[in-house]
Amino acid sequence: MSFLTKHKVLITAGPTHEPIDPVRFIGNRSSGKMAYAIAEVFAEAGAVVVLVSGPVQLQANHPNIQVVPVETAAQMYDACHQYYSSCQIAVLAAAVADYTVANPADKKIKKQGDNLTLELVQTKDILMSLGQVKSNEQVLIGFALETNDAIANAKKKLLAKNLDFIVLNTLQDEGAGFRHDTNKISIINKYNKITNFELKDKRLVAQDILNYLEEYLREMKVV
């Protein structure tokens, strides 16, 4: 029997789309492939998965996966807080927008003049907010995609958001990051231990994360 059998796991996936008007939005290049692979691997290991997913062109096929579709960062925040208290593990792999449009137009903005100025406001930090309410019986895992000073930035995020460990990748590694079917990660835990992995298919990366989690829980005697 897997260590995850009947455990409830919250996973976030994909981008968020922050509306400018009814036909335009601010988004990013996240495909959701990494998070969906994690959801499938965890479900196959016996977990009951709640997958809070931004807009992606993917489907979850395992019966143990409940998909909760959202579009905006605010909707993802609300969904995560709805389900988190009943989960033993959370893996926040979504690429959530840091900013949203302050006042989206209710009608399509027509082209006029040479410039268009949008006022942006910060979105709520989902990962930090979950870290603030995390119990000693819960494990919280974050993701960091960096373009520079990757290890230092990931460590700051790990500490600031009260994570158990963080999965780091960087756009400097060829074949890693958004849209690829492969990824290359490092995992940093809250004791500053860094474990590096080779470039591989995202499903195999998901299995590495599962194996790391099992070892982490065995050492910590958590969950």
How is the chain split into domains, by residue range? 8-101+121-220
- CB neighbour list of residue 139: distance below 8 Å, 6 or more residues apart: 88, 89, 90, 164, 213, 216, 217, 222, 223
221: confidence class by pLDDT, cuts 50, 70, 90 = low
Tokens coding 174: 């060829």
Q: How far apart are CA 141 and CA 42, in angstroms?
A: 14
What is the value of pTM for the model shown?
0.94
Q: What is the mean pLDDT of residues 191-214?
A: 95
Query: Reduced to 3 states, what is the DSSP secondary structure of residue 124?
Result: coil
Q: What is the mean pLDDT of residues 165-174?
A: 84
Q: Which of 21, 53, 19 is nearest to 35 (CA)?
A: 53
Indicate the burial class of 215 (C-beta count within 10 angstroms; 0-12, 13-18, 19 or more).
exposed
Residue 28 appears among annotated catalytic residues: yes
Fold category of 8-101+121-220 in CATH: Rossmann fold (3.40.50)
pLDDT at position 93 is 97
Catalytic residue among 28, 169, 192, 211: 28
Tokens coding 62: 């395992």
pLDDT at position 83 is 98
Q: How far apart are CA 80 and CA 152, in angstroms?
A: 27
pLDDT at position 30 is 92
